Structure 1
Amino acid sequence: MIEVYTDGAAAGDPGPSSAGVFIKNGKEHHEFAFKLGELSNHEAEFWAVIKALEICRDTFPDEILSFRSDSKIVVETLEKNYTKNHRFLPLLEKINHLQSSFPFVFYKWIPEKQNGKADMLARGVLKK
Structure 2
Amino acid sequence: MIEVYTDGAASGNPGPSGAGIYIKAGKKTYEYRFPLGELSNHEAEFYAVIKALEICKEEFPGEILSFRSDSQLVVDVIDNDHTKNKTFLALLEKIREESRNFPYFFIKWIPEKQNKHADRLSREAIRMEA
Is the shorter-chain TM-score for this pair beyond 0.5, marking a shared fold? yes
Quote the residue 1:27 is aligned against: 27
Offset of residue 122 of structure 1:
0.4
TM-score, with normalisation over the residues of structure 2?
A: 0.97
1:79-118 correspondence to structure 2 within 5 Å: 79-118=79-118
Q: How does 1:11-26 map to 2 (within 5 A)?
A: 11-26=11-26
Other structure's SS at 1:3 match: strand
> Aligned equivalents of 1:27 and 1:40: distance in 2?
34
Q: Distance in 1 between matches of 2:81 and 2:91?
A: 11
Partner of 2:56: 56
Shift of 1:26: 1.1
**Equivalent in the alignment of 1:68:** 68
| C-alpha separation in 2, matches of 1:10 and 1:78 | 21
In the aligned structure 1, how far is the partner of 2:15 from the partner of 2:125?
14
Q: CA RMSD in A?
A: 0.5
The TM-score normalised by the length of structure 1 is 0.99
Give the SS at the match of 1:87: helix
Question: Which amino acid in structure 2 is aligned with residue 112 of structure 1?
Answer: E
Cα offset, 1:50, TM superposition: 0.2
| Identity score, percent | 63
Give secondary structure in 1 for the equivalent of 2:87: coil
Q: Matched residue pairs, number? A: 128
Residue of structure 1 equivalent to 2:37? 37
Equivalent-residue separation in structure 1 for 2:89 and 2:78 (angstroms): 11
Give, in whole Å, the separation in 1 of the partners of 2:58 and 2:21.
Answer: 14
Runs ≥4 residues deviating over 6 A:
none
Deviation at 1:31, TM superposition (A): 0.2
Report the Cα distance in structure 1 between the residues aligned to 2:101 and 2:120, rounded to whole angstroms. Answer: 29
Please give the secondary structure, in 2, of the residue aligned with 1:102. coil
Q: Which amino acid in the other structure matches residue 18 of structure 1?
A: G
Q: CA deviation at 1:127?
A: 2.2
Task: Mark the runs of 5 or more structure 2 residues left unpaired by the alignment.
Answer: none
- Residue-by-residue CA offset, 1:47-67 (whole Å, 9 max, x unaligned): 000000000000000000000
